[in-house]
Each structure stands twice: as structure tokens, then as C-alpha cells.
Structure 1
């Protein structure tokens, strides 16, 4: 069997020389790498080669970039257990991390086609759309768009949606609990809205998680489109095999 030649490209060789900088940055509170200009000077390389090496590391989830702030070493991933169905803040805090939510917008809109299909709505029916950015240890890692049925949750937009858990609001104010969740998983790139919310570069890789929530009576009541920085989470799922 022929031997696969080792990667000897300038970017690959530079990655080895970047390792000490990554190790040092990982010990800093903000985990920030030196500026590209400083790295180019200290490593005696070109911007093209440096960017290629950093982009490779970003694709592997080792580093990430923020607009107008530079490059950072990625922190440990958050474990996202699909079966646990924990609210965001509860999931994050259970892993001894800090969580915060920013409300970006909350309004009533005509349901987009894909949302109408998920919720069994006719063309032109309206939904509540709530857009939020969510932070782990003060890093923006998640942009989420919620679409809710207004008839199930009248006046829900009047609540403090930056502080309140929707799941808790459903139970406390409307007597509705989530009885079943359907997931759609996929990879994508960040749109302008998602990238802006996460201080990321448009087109950066992302993990998409779509949830369709059904109430205790089996009725579809809302759906969420979550767009995570791809290095921020590790999806987990435990299930008992069926049959022999």
C-alpha cells in the first residue's frame, strides 16, 4: 500500500510553531492570541500563510475569530445532551459554567414557509419570533430564533425574555409543558444575522440544531433554530439498542 506523504506545506509547518502561542494564550483569562501583525513578525511569516494556518485550526475547533477583536484559543466544549432537554441556563450551570442571554428582537411576523410547515400552519398565518444571543462564560456562542404559536402563548412578548426561560414561562403562565421534542441536526455557515449576533465572521462554520416542541397533548407549539459556533458544543446522545 503506498505511503501517504506528510503535509509539508508552509501553513502546516507554521502550525507547529504556533503551538507555544496557543498554549500561552490558553492560560490567559481572555484566551486571546497576539495580533496577526505581531504573530507575523515573531514567526517571520506572511499574512497569507498565517491566515491559512489559523483557518485550518479554526476548522478543527482549536481557535476562533471575533470581528475587530482578533483570534482566541477555544475553551472546552459544552456537552449538549439531546435527550436531557435541559433549558440553556440549566445545562450550562450544571457544567460549572456561567450563562447569560441577550434579547435581540421579539415581534409578531408572518410565519416563514419552513416554520409554517413544521407547525402545521396555513400560508399567511402569524407567529411570534424571538431572537436571542446566548453566552457561555461571557463568550457569544449561540444565536437562536424561536417561533411560537400566538394562540398558545398570548402576550408572552410582554415578559422579560432575556431573563425568563421559555420552558418555565410555558409551564408557569400557560399550563403547557413540553412532552416531546423532534430534532433536526446539520452543519451550516453563519448568516449575516447570526454572525452579527455572535461577533463572528459571516460564513464561519456553525452547528445547526432545530427543535420542534410538542406539548403534553402532542400538539406542535413552537420551533427553535439554534446556530452554535461549531467549536462551542459537543453533542451527546445515549440510547438503549432495540432488539437482539
Structure 2
């Protein structure tokens, strides 16, 4: 966790396939308004910063810089991006496109790419739920293009999901309602947000989505505050603390 003029900085990795809306989502969060047009494809890493104020202003510190590292999703850069961007972070946001089943399926591989790089152990090539047992980094799922999905999702929203299966998806299942979550949100034990990145109606002040995002920030703050560096280094899966700011 870095500092800038006494304001701590937390780093979030924003990961997912190309053209799923990572840059549009980050822009909306950091600038409180949607992009007017689709952005160019990210090459390398695009960085944006948001000043986050905690609801409980008696907390000290109550201000944090949240630094979003929007990592390009090109498969050609898979071998190089790990060593460049996965060393120091405090949380992970995984982004998929509601109209693309493949982008949702690939979220497991994106997370596993980070886990394999950070692990001190030799891990299997294929993802399995077992690798999540010691992975203790806050995660948030973002599903974009809600408007284009016409209220129908490629995600499985069944109340009971067998994670020993291949996390099968239904092409006709409706978006999760109330306390139901997609299979990956259950697998990763995290919240998820459904939105259209070119409209701020589903992501304005005091909405349920903002509450989920703030809860994600609070989880990062809690972990960065209560775990000393020497304790964090004992975990095979947890990233080292951030000590820089762009």
C-alpha cells in the first residue's frame, strides 16, 4: 500500500478479454460519467485513479487513492503481462461481456493466470477450484453490455450449482435475481455487478451497484491495514503490498 501526501494508495487489477468493456467501466468509476464513444483497444496497461472517501469519516485514514490497472486482454501479450503487472496489487476486478459466453468462461483463466504467477508452487496447467483455497485477495465481477443482452444472460443462475461439474452455462437463463449469483460469483465467493458502461443509470450515487463497489474497496482497505508485510509474505497466493503510485 503506497502513499501520496499521506493519502494511501491501493492498486486494483482489472482483467478480462479484449473489448469486454474494462476501459469503459474504469472511466465511469473514476470520472462519474460514461465514455461518449468506445475506447481504442488497450495495449499494455491503462491506469486511472479514483479518490475514494469512506462512508465512516471517523476512520483514519478516511481517504484512499484507488489505482486501477486496466490490463490489455490481447492473447499475444499473455506471457509478458504477468511479470509486468501482477507483482503488486490489493484487489482484482474480473470483467466479462454478457453477450459473450466465452468471455465469462475465460474469467477463470484470467484469475488462474495471476495465481500461477504469484504462487511459489508448481501448479497444474488447468484451473481447478482447489487453487482458490489459499487465495485471499478481494475479487469483484463486472458483467457489461447489460442493455445489449435484452435482460437475458449467458450466465447460469440456478440456486444450487455443483462446482465439481464443469460449471455448465445455460444460453437461455435469466440474469440473477435477489440473492442468486452466477456460478463464478459463487465459486470465487464475491459480489458481481451488471451494467451498461455507456449509461450511468445503473451506476449512479447510492445505487446497489455502488454499494457493492464500495464494499469491495473496504475489503481491500481492511486487508491492507490489518496484515503486516511479514505476515503477507507467508501466503503463497497473496500479492505483496503496493509501494508506488503513477
Task: Output the TM-score relative to the length of structure 1.
Answer: 0.22
Q: Which has the higher contact order (CA 8 A, sep 6+)?
A: 2
Structure with a larger share of its residues in strand:
1
Task: Output the TM-score relative to the length of structure 2.
Answer: 0.22
Larger Rg: 1
